[in-house]
A and B are shown apart, each in its own frame.
Chain A
């Protein structure tokens, strides 16, 4: 009886082992299939990653080039701004020189007018004095000499102002 039971158990165990072995082979085959699929997916992902990495590298290069271009453009813009500012400096200086020229010319003309007026008056007074002397009337010529000295200084100043105006006008030409 025991022997029969033992044989039955062994047979049952063997049958169960065969069944489990078959089941495990089936599971292993499933894992292998799944591994193949996963490997394909991984290869695809790596491929996409490499492609994206390449695109990212190209974009990075483009960004760097754009950055370089932008920096160069900004540098050029700054250079042009500097040149514009310097041109404005020259324009301001020219305007200032013109303003000074106008002031000098105005001053020279006023002084020359005064010089001419004084000279004419002095000439008239000198003629009167000459006529008085001719009539035997004594004349004090000291005031005339003083006026002559003052007028000479005024005329010299007028000439200097005129010369400055001419010089400035020559520079502006």
Chain B
């Protein structure tokens, strides 16, 4: 084919190619989203509030009329009927009552006390409260904790702090280890739960010590051990 013959075909091909081009679709506006105007939720704060709310609900106030005097303390719900507290709160019980965070009062019976640890379990029928979750790993130094209880026989309080350490030897006459925390602990907090950031129980508050009033708690593994090997005995009478 000569050059003169190819030219018309070339022109035709160019025309067809040019005619075959179609306009591009309009671009999408990237600023169309209006959801940026929403304030981000503070999930950490909501989570912390939910944890503390639940912890307060499974923490109870204990009124124990002993042989000589009336005493008050704290405790927490372990299951539908059992509440954990301190031996020194309900050691010589004549009459024991439980008050819940929402104002209900129940008669209770001391099921058993641990002779080698400041722990006791009491039984309540008809208790309809959230149940505490017991952590199966030990407390870690520096981890944030909260102490829930009824200090001074008053209303429910929550104090926060961190784990300072663990005492392995006997302390304050108790033969078991203790967790030391810097959260404020007052008389009446005895028997209340020491919880971690997830709301799981890691200890049972039983004393305060030292010049700064550090709190002491029975590690929860001691409680679990006594429960598993039935290390609780009936309390002595008056």
What residues make up the interface of A, taking CB atoms closer than 8 Å to B? 2, 6, 9-10, 12-13, 16-17, 20-21, 23-24, 27-28, 31, 35, 38-39, 42, 45-46, 49-50, 53, 56-57, 60, 71, 74, 77-86, 88-89, 92-93, 96
Contacts and interface: CB of A to CB of B under 8 A. Distances in A.
Given A35-B25, A38-B26, A71-B49, A46 B15 contact: no
Interface of B: 4-5, 7-9, 11-12, 15-16, 18-23, 25-26, 28-29, 32-35, 37-39, 41, 49, 53, 56, 61, 63, 65, 70, 72, 95, 97, 99-103, 105, 150, 153-156
A96 B25 CA distance: 89
B63 A13 contact: no
B97 A20 contact: no
A50 B34 contact: yes
Contacts of B56: 78
A77 B56 CA distance: 12
Contacts of B23: 27-28, 31
5 residue pairs, one from A and one from B, having the closest CB atoms: A82-B155, A20-B19, A81-B103, A9-B8, A17-B15
B216 to A, nearest CB: 25
B15 A82 contact: no
Contacts of B99: 81, 84-85, 88
A160 B24 CA distance: 111
Contacts of B49: 71
Given A81-B103, A93-B70, A10 B155 contact: no
Of the listed residues A39, A53, A71, the one surrounded by the most CB atoms of chain B closer than 10 A to its CB is A53
Contacts of A45: 32
Given A79-B155, A84-B99, A42 B28 contact: yes
